[in-house]
Structure 1
Amino acid sequence: MDKIKNFDIVVNTCLADIESRSKKSDFDKNDFLLSVVNGFEDGKWREDLFRQFVMNNIAQTGLSADERENICTIDPYTQITRSIMNLRLVDCENGQGSEIAEIVLYGIMRYHYNALPVVPKIFYKQNSNDNAKGADSVHIVIDEDKMDFTLWLGEAKFFNDIIDERLYDPINSVFEALGTEKIKKENSIITNIKDLEYVINNPDIRKKVKEVLRHDVSIDEVKKRLHVPIMLLHECSITKGARELSPEYLEEIKHYHLNRAERFFMSHNNKQKKEGVYGFEKIMFHLILFPVPNKENIVNWFVKRANQIKQDA
């Protein structure tokens, strides 16, 4: 079984390639599912591995590239502390857990898609001018062989469940983010902050990124390169009741996540029929599902840990 660090990949497929109970035409060759699970030890879900993944990847979105490269490379604790200082989660009751989902998305983008974090969203969201409203993650994936790149604008949610009604929120967020001015604003942020200089080493590719993402370039050129990862970290009764990474558990998660992905993309594509977003068929959509046994416990740990670090800083 393939892995993302210590996590197991249960499903990694295009929805158009699976045997669906629904009409095949409801799914597009650009609809993808990535299902990822954590392991178990001594009959318990491995909270330690999940916590390590969160803390080890918080700097990907909590610090600028300058800080990651020049200030915090020697001292990991300083890196975590500075990242924590930029969180909004510990200061606001609304949307608790959303930043955890963002961090997990940045980690998965880093290790699975080899993506470069050109806009660390948590870092820029804490600034007073709040340039980072819009996508929850912004990455670029380099193709060295073709000397080209793809742009990844992500959404991240942490839900108590992923019943049908819950799926409308991320779908609406995705369509809002696909507006021409929304994408151009993200492009403007990418090209105007310094992070691009640090994360893309190849000057020719860096130049191409800046040229393609210029405000006066047609958004049609960008959509040819656009991917939208949709991270749904979610509480899961199947995971809560499991004691080991058994074949039965993996099969149950596979079946459940495929069902949820079918429902998601059916609603997603039905909305496109109403919205008629131009160039929609050129955009790649990646639904990423990650089940946890208890959302409240994870949020409480994160808030408590973040508060401790803030107080000690």
Structure 2
Amino acid sequence: MNSPYDTKPRPLFRPLPNAQKAYCVGFEFEQWRCNAYADHMIEWIIDYALKADEIKTLTHANSYIKLKQAAARIYKSEHYKTRGEIGEISIHAICREYFQTIPFAPRVFYLTSSNEVVKSFDMVHVRYVGDHDVELWLGEAKFFKDRSLAIARALTSVSTHIEQGFLKNEKLLLGPQVSTDIPHFDKIRDVLSEEVSLDVLFQKAVFPIFIASDSPSTAKHKSHTAQYEADVAEELASLSDAIARSALHTKIKIVLIYVPIRSKDQLAEAFDKRLKGLNP
């Protein structure tokens, strides 16, 4: 069965060899690649925001319309500096590229009519294991200035999300939204059915935690060097230590993903300009 997710943008995020779980967009002319990051987010918005059946009909003849539809579904708020869409698109892109996941329900359909985000997972993907098994990747993304605050908030959110009552409601919300245009959709729906124990969901689930935050290492370096990697590795270690102290990793499978950025505000502004250009 062909999937509408067989095609994806060329990768921009690159894993750091000496800081596994950290991904960087790199430098250009001694500057962190803020504009390239913002452009890459726009490249991914169709994959992120549209449903599988809508992506199936994407052609060169309607690509601009599809891009505008995706942009319109993300946000129109003037308060872009407090919004988390950049984090959500980033975790979507990295998991699609490096962990071979695909979405089974678009994140933007969790928005209420007033465009306020329902408290839910920031990413709902599936990863195929072999020919017949599935993993549900239920992600949490934080796009913050402060790295320590970001991981603290992420751990609090995930802890809330794995409570019994929340997961029961989540299954009721997600089950009917599973796309029939992806392989083994029936197995995903079965895991999310009300009749199946939450124990089965925990056995099938992976919880990626994505942190993008202002990085002293990225701010002080002008190129991708061994010292830059070593400095980022220290920042990554502080996030890993926070997860270890929480003991959350003893209850669920966690995958940590870290993107060190030079300036949250700068990136938010660059992305916002591009998004508003698609919403004249």
- What TM-score results when the alignment is normalised by the length of structure 1? 0.78
Q: 1:300-311 to 2 correspondence within 5 Å?
A: 300-311=269-280
Residue equivalent to 1:196: 179
Residue equivalent to 2:224: 245
Q: 1:24-39 to 2 correspondence within 5 Å?
A: 34-39=21-26
Q: Deviations over 1:231-286 (max 9, x none)?
A: 11111121011111011111111122123321x213321xx5xxxxxxx7462111
Structure 2 residue matching 1:259: 3-state secondary structure? helix
**Aligned residues of 1:53 and 1:104 also touching (Cα < 8 A):** no
Task: Name which of 283, 288, 291 aligns with 2:260.
Answer: 291
Name the CA distance, whole Å, in 1 between partners of 2:104 and 2:163.
Answer: 20
Residue equivalent to 1:56: 43
Residue equivalent to 1:222: 201
Residue equivalent to 1:86: 73
**Aligned residues of 1:131 and 1:189 also touching (Cα < 8 A):** no
Name the CA distance, whole Å, in 2 between partners of 1:69 and 1:130.
Answer: 28
Q: Please, which runs of 5 or more residues in structure 2 have no aligned partner?
A: 1-9
Residue equivalent to 2:3: none
Structure 2 residue matching 1:158: 3-state secondary structure? strand
Residue equivalent to 2:105: 119
**Aligned residues of 1:229 and 1:288 also touching (Cα < 8 A):** yes
How many residues in Structure 1 have an aligned counterpart in Structure 2? 271
**Aligned residues of 1:83 and 1:123 also touching (Cα < 8 A):** no
RMSD: 2.5
Cα distance change of structure 1 residues 140 and 176 upon mapping to structure 2, 3 Å threshold: same
What amino acid sits opposite 2:14 in the alignment? Answer: D
Greater relative contact order, per chain length (Cα 8 Å cut-off, separation 6+): 2
**Aligned residues of 2:128 and 2:134 also touching (Cα < 8 A):** yes
Name the CA distance, whole Å, in 1 between partners of 2:109 and 2:99.
Answer: 22
Q: Deviations over 1:290-312 (max 9, x none)?
A: 0111111111122222222111x
Cα distance change of structure 1 residues 68 and 169 upon mapping to structure 2, 3 Å threshold: same
What amino acid sits opposite 1:96 in the alignment? Answer: T
What is the CA-CA distance between 1:70 and the residue it aligns to? 2.1
**Aligned residues of 2:150 and 2:213 also touching (Cα < 8 A):** no
**Aligned residues of 1:142 and 1:150 also touching (Cα < 8 A):** yes
Name the CA distance, whole Å, in 2 between partners of 1:79 and 1:236.
Answer: 34
What amino acid sits opposite 1:152 in the alignment? Answer: W
Structure 1 residue matching 2:278: 3-state secondary structure? helix
Task: Name which of 79, 87, 96 aligns with 1:101.
Answer: 87
Task: Name which of 7, 11, 18 aligns with 2:13.
Answer: 7
**Aligned residues of 2:104 and 2:125 also touching (Cα < 8 A):** yes
Name the CA distance, whole Å, in 2 between partners of 1:68 and 1:161.
Answer: 36
Structure 2 residue matching 1:196: 3-state secondary structure? coil
Q: Please, which runs of 5 or more residues in structure 1 have no aligned partner?
A: 14-32, 273-279
Name the CA distance, whole Å, in 2 between partners of 1:12 and 1:243.
Answer: 18
- What TM-score results when the alignment is normalised by the length of structure 2? 0.87
What amino acid sits opposite 1:243 in the alignment? Answer: K
